[in-house]
Every structure is written in structure tokens, then in C-alpha cells.
């Protein structure tokens, strides 16, 4: 069972292993917020409640979620950011095979791994701010041009979006986590 890690201000950060949570609790870096009912971690001389939700005790951590294909799809609700469609299979399930990642400012225009936006902002070519979910048809039609504009300006996820992404990336998550994911 995994553990939800919260920042000092109770905003969701990420999911960690229960081992890591216990290390943080024992070293007094993390505070136990909620435990799994009737589950315990035992050592030879001590018994602790099994951590479901823990909070960083001493410092504010950057709220960054790792940029992965699955995390990007979750941020964009599995919708093409150019046509707005979500590709579905026969049974109504999302067809991830028809989705791809598109660089809003194409990699072909990058210099030393960076691109420059129209307002002069310099971004890493593969960053939250330059990547969107696209269906294969739109990505192919766009190619290396900047002729198509995404519906939403891509950006790094907010704490609320991080909560939504954690829920999407961990479908077997504990119901104990829900109040802390800031989904409303």
C-alpha cells in the first residue's frame, strides 16, 4: 500500500511507498495525518499505524510532478488539445494508442534544448509548458509547424491538478486520500 505525501500546507505532492513514509515518520521529518484502519507496521519492540496520508513537517517542498506521458495525458484529461476529442475504443475505454505528445513549439525550432515563445519566454523544449496531448491525426497534420494552437495554454500542474492526476495515475488509491486530493 502506498502513502499520499502532503506539503506542509496540506496540498498534495506525490505518492510515496509506505517504507519511505515510515522512514520520514521515525526520523520526525513527516507527520502521520491518517492511517489505514486496522493495519500496523511492527518492529521487534514498537508498533506504528500504517501510514495512508503523511505531511511534510518542516519545509515547503516544490510541487512538481514528474513529467511522463501518462501524467501529461492525465493533465489534459486524455483529450486532444487541438480538436478536443478523446479517442475511444469499442467499449468506451480511452484508446491511448491514438494519443501522442506534441511539442507546441516544435523541437525542430529548438536551440540547445530550448525554445522561445512569442512573448520571449525561454522554455525547455520538453517541459510542461511546451507539451500537450494530441490525437495522432492532429499531431500529424501539425507536423513541425506552429499553425495549430492548443485550446488551453500548457502549464505545469496546479495543486488541484496534481490531486486530479494522482487520482488518475493511481486508480486503486485509498478512499482515505480523497479529502486531501483537493478535487473540488
Domains with residue ranges and CATH for the chain: 2-63+165-180 (no CATH), 69-156 (1.10.30)
Q: What is the pLDDT of residues 81-109, one digit of tens each?
A: 999 999 888 877 888 899 999 999 999 98
The predicted model gives 128-152 an average pLDDT of: 93
Percent pLDDT > 90 in the chain is 53
Which has the closest alpha carbon to 73: 107, 98, 108, 110? 98
Percent pLDDT > 70 in the chain is 96
Contacts with 41 (C-beta within 8 Å, 6 or more apart), sequence order:
18, 22, 47, 48, 49, 50
The pLDDT of residue 106: 93
List the single range of 38-52, 101-115, 131-145, 151-165 with lowest mean pLDDT.
151-165
The pLDDT of residue 76: 92
| Cβ atoms of 40 and 47 closer than 8 Å | yes
pTM of the model: 0.71
The pLDDT of residue 140: 93
Contacts with 14 (C-beta within 8 Å, 6 or more apart), sequence order:
5, 65, 66, 162, 166
Using 50, 70 and 90 to split pLDDT, how confident is the model at 183? low
Q: How far is residue 41's CA from residue 128's CA, in Å, rounded to a whole number?
A: 38
Q: What is the pLDDT of residues 151-163, one digit of tens each?
A: 999 998 877 788 8
The predicted model gives 50-60 an average pLDDT of: 88
Task: Output the nine-digit C-alpha cell for 34.
Answer: 491518517
Q: How far is residue 132's CA from residue 34's CA, in Å, rounded to a whole number?
A: 35
The pLDDT of residue 122: 92
Using 50, 70 and 90 to split pLDDT, how confident is the model at 184? low
Pairing mode of beta strands 30-42, 131-135 = unpaired
- Where do we find the cell 506525490? 14
The predicted model gives 19-34 an average pLDDT of: 94
Amino acid at each position: 500500500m502506498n502513502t499520499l505525501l502532503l506539503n506542509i500546507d496540506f496540498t498534495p505532492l506525490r505518492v510515496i511507498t509506505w517504507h519511505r513514509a515510515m522512514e520520514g515518520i521515525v526520523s520526525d521529518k513527516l507527520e502521520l495525518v491518517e492511517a489505514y484502519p486496522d493495519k500496523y507496521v511492527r518492529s521487534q519492540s514498537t508498533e506504528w499505524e500504517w501510514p495512508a496520508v503523511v505531511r511534510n513537517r518542516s519545509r515547503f517542498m516544490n510541487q512538481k510532478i514528474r513529467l511522463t506521458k501518462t501524467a501529461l495525458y492525465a493533465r489534459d484529461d486524455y483529450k486532444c488539445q487541438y480538436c478536443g476529442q478523446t479517442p475511444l475504443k469499442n467499449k468506451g475505454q480511452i484508446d491511448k494508442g491514438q494519443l501522442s505528445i506534441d511539442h507546441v513549439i516544435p523541437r525542430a525550432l529548438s536551440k540547445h534544448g530550448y525554445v522561445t515563445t512569442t512573448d520571449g519566454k525561454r522554455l525547455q523544449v520538453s517541459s510542461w509548458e511546451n507539451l500537450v496531448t494530441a490525437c495522432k491525426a492532429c499531431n500529424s497534420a501539425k507536423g513541425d509547424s506552429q499553425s495549430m494552437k492548443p485550446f488551453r495554454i500548457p502549464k505545469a500542474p496546479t495543486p488541484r491538478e496534481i490531486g486530479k492526476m494522482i487520482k488518475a495515475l493511481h486508480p486503486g488509491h485509498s478512499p482515505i486520500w480523497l479529502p486531501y486530493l483537493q478535487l473540488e
